[in-house]
Amino acid sequence: MSEATMAIAKLRTNKPNPNYRPMIFVVAPFTEVIKGDTTTIRAVRSYCRFIYQHGGIPVCPQLYLPQFINLHLSREFQTAAFINIVLLTKCDEAWSFGKPTHDMHYFIRLAKRKNKNIRYFNAETEAD
């Protein structure tokens, strides 16, 4: 059984609904997604798919927010930062993928401040 499967099973323990899926905050490079780096976008989508396939609900603001928030505008960027905090607070855990970037360190620190368990996976979704 993989690290991810065991983690999701543990989060499902004692939940009355057998279809329960825990929400997992995806920690992945934010700036590269905003810049439109297609390789990074594909990788982040694969991380979301990985979480989904193991029974979680991926929460990935780097894919979601740029659809309607202009992150190049200071005021909207500040709103996005607040939304990130709210989304992270609602999640059961945070999972970090690949080598942490500056952006990712911010989310990791935030998750720690919110007392969220953080799991680390390499870019190939293997537990680090």
- The burial of 103, by beta-carbon neighbours within 10 Å (0-12 exposed, 13-18 middle, 19 or more buried), is given as middle
pLDDT 10s digits, 33-49: 777 788 888 999 999 99
Q: Three-class SS of residue 97? A: strand
pLDDT 10s digits, 14-31: 999 989 999 999 998 877
Question: What global pTM score does this model have?
Answer: 0.92
